[in-house]
Homo-oligomer: A and B are copies of this chain.
Amino acid sequence: VSVDLAIAVDLGGTQIRVALIDRTGAILRKISDFTRATAGPDIVIGQIAALVADVSGGVARSELAGAGVSSPGPLDTEAGVALTLPTLVGFENYPLRAMLSNAIGLEVKLENDGIAAAIGEWRFGAGQGFANVVYVTVSTGIGGGVIINNNVLRGRRGMAGHVGHMSFVQGGEMCSCGNCGCFEAYAAGPALARRWVKSGGSGDAAAVFDAARGGNGVAIRLVREEAEFLGQGFASLMHLYSPDVLVMGGGVGQQFDVLHADIMGSIRICAMPAFRDTPVVRAGLGDDSGLMGIAALVFARDRAQH
């Protein structure tokens, strides 16, 4: 009997999502809980263990290939350690992989959430069939992951692919990472919402898109500017990684239809001619790209396969 099921955990600052996934990427069960983000690691590990027990109820241990967890970072995925989890209290230099493995009695793989989602889109989503994929998630932050020549780009301590943290504007807006002027500080959802509020609007990034779809001239202009920032950042990523395809996900990525033409217009200006025909496509798996990527990792016989 081959081991045909993986347990995938998506640990976030708001929610913990746990799924039971088969080799084809099909999600057989999926449950979630609100993260007790300020309660400390013991409580959070307990929450995950309870969700894992729940989602794997009735499944024979022999059917399970293992478990994996995606988490915001930076993580040291070589050592299995969370260096800092900005949205969760008490996880500084926390041995997340070992503690979770102890709690659930399974081998656990650990991956940065952006890289996990990139693997999901590459194996099962919009990046399927390509050897070189850059995945960018644009929501409250900008994260992502990179596949080059059918290898996951990990680098030292598995920390590569922080695509939101390129210097983008000299002495610009503060970024969540502590630096000024990162791509994220200009093109993530909160940056768009900030420009909207400054122009007299109210609400979050989704409100700007709603207003633009409703014909509001200021919102239309801000959405176009957002697309130009995104195109500029994507052009840089093309120069740096030379992907076959750039896949855009996240909450802002859900507005792909109104952004796409202006993103491509910006790329035609910013990218060197040889890169301008690189397609930019919408993510195919929505919120599940990370869970499905973690499952792909669990099924990979070893880390080197990816």
Contacts and interface: CB of A to CB of B under 8 A. Distances in A.
A241 B272 contact: no
Nearest to A161: B240
Interface string A166-182: 11111010000111000
Given A83-B274, A240-B160, A269 B179 contact: yes
Contacts of A132: 155-156, 160
A154 interface: yes
A89 interface: no
A148 to B, nearest CB: 5
Given A148-B153, A159-B275, A272-B178, A166 B169 contact: no
Interface residues of A, number: 48
A283 interface: no
Nearest to A159: B242
A240 B159 CA distance: 8
Interface string A213-240: 0000000000000000000110110011
Given A74-B275, A160-B240, A166-B236, 5 more contacts: A76-B274, A156-B244, A160-B242, A165-B236, A170-B232
A149 interface: yes
Interface string A237-257: 001111110000000000000
Interface string A137-159: 00000000000110101111111
Contacts of A239: 162-163, 165-166
Contacts of A170: 168-169, 172, 232
Contacts of A74: 272, 274-275
Contacts of A166: 166-167, 236, 239-240
B165 A168 contact: no
Contacts of A278: 156
B168 A167 contact: yes
A157 B166 CA distance: 24
